[in-house]
Structure 1
Amino acid sequence: MKPRDLFRHFKEMQKYFIAAALVFLAGFVLGYADSAKFETLLQSQIQGLQQLARSIAAKDHSMLWLFGFIFLNNALKSIFIVFAGIFFGVLPLFFLLVNGLVLGYLASLQVQGDQLAMFLKGILPHGILEIPAIVIACAYGIRLGAIMGKGFLRLPSSQGRQVFVVEFKRFMQLSVPLMGLLVVTLLTAAIIESTITPWLIGK
């Protein structure tokens, strides 16, 4: 299928996009409002990222290493989460919730430290591309989960099995331009995050 087929399919995906965005927003609100409740879980993840960032900064051509890590990490995760939806959409929902929690938690820390402007500088330039890409990837993962769930219920019916095959085949065909869209979007976001974002934070 071609990219225009994917964009046409977006109209059918509206409820999944809304559902994915709401789960992400719920995670953000929980992470922001009840940051103390999730502090142990989220701090361990953040510390792991900080250690990785320090190791990258110590390398020669650190900006290229940073770009490569950001792009590969985000692209591989987004592709994985689309197809991880095969387990009835559970993993994409969890991925959205955790990412929302982390972002909300970081926002809470920055607001408490009177560093909201710094937080926005660090998130918005690449986040306007990266967050929608994550939401789209997870929405398609949830969609795959719905296809699998309905297919499981239709197993006793031969007609139901035929419907499942058609829906699953169409999803796989759409996944090709979807992967292209995600890769291009996250490539652009990685360029911004590894170049413009450090410059903005340093100002």
Structure 2
Amino acid sequence: MHPVLYLYRVTVRRVLSRSRRYIFLVAAIFLVGIAIGFISYQCYPGQVSLMVSEITAKLTRLSETLEGAGTLQAVLLVFWTNLKVVLMCIASGPAFGIAPAAAIFLNGFFIGVAAGHAASRGLNVPLLLGTSVMPHGIFEVPAVILGGVLGMRIGFNILALLRSRQTLRGVIRVLGDTLAILLALVIPLLAAAALIEMTLTRYLVTRVIVPGLGDV
């Protein structure tokens, strides 16, 4: 069998099958983060705004950089920015899975805060998410979740090794699985997300969201 076919037909299926509980756990953490972010903004808008002001400033600077960049340069910048987030999730895995879980929660939390902010301004939240998040989010969110899954899987296996419930060979196999999923799924998903975000999503935001802001 060709190595690429083997990667997708055998390795990817095997790793995803063995990671089902991690996938469900990370997805649940992400959804809880969204819910808590939304509720927190509705209940404590001032405090939450202060909490996320630094991140908002960074996003504003990134947005300004993207405005002055060509499409290809913008796609590469968004891809690299998102890839760094995923790599940090994976690299923090040895901290027994705590750091990846926190990173996934915060990603969901900030989406929830953004939705809460939009709702407080009377914007159509489903329309906002459907045009500014959903087009590229269907690729980006699974990639981020996979990053959390890979990081937590590494962390829990290292913890199992320290408790003599896993072997060093088993941990090395998990690291190999991580590299395989990163190359086969995460990077392609992030590349697709970046391309769509800088083309379709940008178009929808300028044609649907920005004109609607004048009515709020």
* TM-score (normalised: structure 2): 0.84
1:163-202 correspondence to structure 2 within 5 Å: 163-180=166-183, 181-202=185-206
1:67 equivalent in alignment to 2:70 = no
Gaps of 5+ in 1: 155-159
1:176 Cα offset (Å): 2.4
Q: Is the 8 A contact 1:29 1:104 kept in 2?
A: yes
Q: Does 1:103 align with 2:111?
A: yes
Shift of the alpha carbon at 1:119?
A: 3.2
| Alpha-carbon separation, structure 1, partners of 2:145 and 2:25 | 9
CA–CA distance in structure 1, aligned partners of residues 128 and 26 of structure 2: 27
Q: Does the alignment pair 1:8 with 2:17?
A: no
Deviations 1:134-154 (A, max 9, x none): 111101111111111111122
Alignment counterpart, residue 101 of structure 2, candidates 82, 93, 96: 93
Q: Of 114, 133, 139, which residue of structure 2 is paired with 1:129?
A: 139
Query: Is the CA contact (8 Å cut-off) linking 2:33 and 2:109 kept in structure 1?
Result: yes
Distance in 2, matches of 1:137 and 1:164, equals 23
1:20-39 equivalence runs, <5 A: 20-35=26-41, 36=45, 37-39=47-49
The one-letter amino acid paired with 1:201 is V
Secondary structure of 1:19 counterpart? helix
Match of 1:57 in 2: 67
CA distance in 2, matches of 1:139, 1:89: 9
Counting aligned pairs with the same residue, the percent is: 21
**CA deviation map 1:102-126 (0-9, x unaligned):** 0000011112222421332000000
RMSD: 1.6
Deviations 1:19-51 (Å, cap 9, x if unpaired)? 101111111111000112422111221122112
Give the residue type in structure 2 aligned to 1:142.
Answer: M
Q: How many residues align?
A: 194
* Residue-by-residue CA offset, 1:69-126 (whole Å, 9 max, x unaligned): 1101112321231132011112101101110110000011112222421332000000
Q: Distance in 1 between matches of 2:198 and 2:124?
A: 21
- Shift in alpha-carbon separation, 1:56–1:202, aligned structure 2, 3 A: closer
Distance (Å, rounded) in 1 between the aligned partners of 2:149 and 2:16:
10
Task: Judge which range, 186-195 or 4-13, deviates more.
Answer: 4-13
Q: How many angstroms apart in 1 are the aligned matches of 2:20 and 2:144?
A: 15
Q: CA deviation at 1:170?
A: 1.0
CA distance in 1, matches of 2:206, 2:193: 19
Counterparts of 2:141 and 2:49, CA distance in 1: 22
Structure 1 Cα separation of the partners of residues 107 and 171 of structure 2: 28
Residue pair 1:79, 1:179 contacting (<8 A) in 2 also: no
Task: Return the offset for 1:12.
Answer: 1.4
Ranges in structure 2 where 5+ consecutive residues have no aligned partner: 1-5, 208-216
2:152 to 134, 138, 142: 142
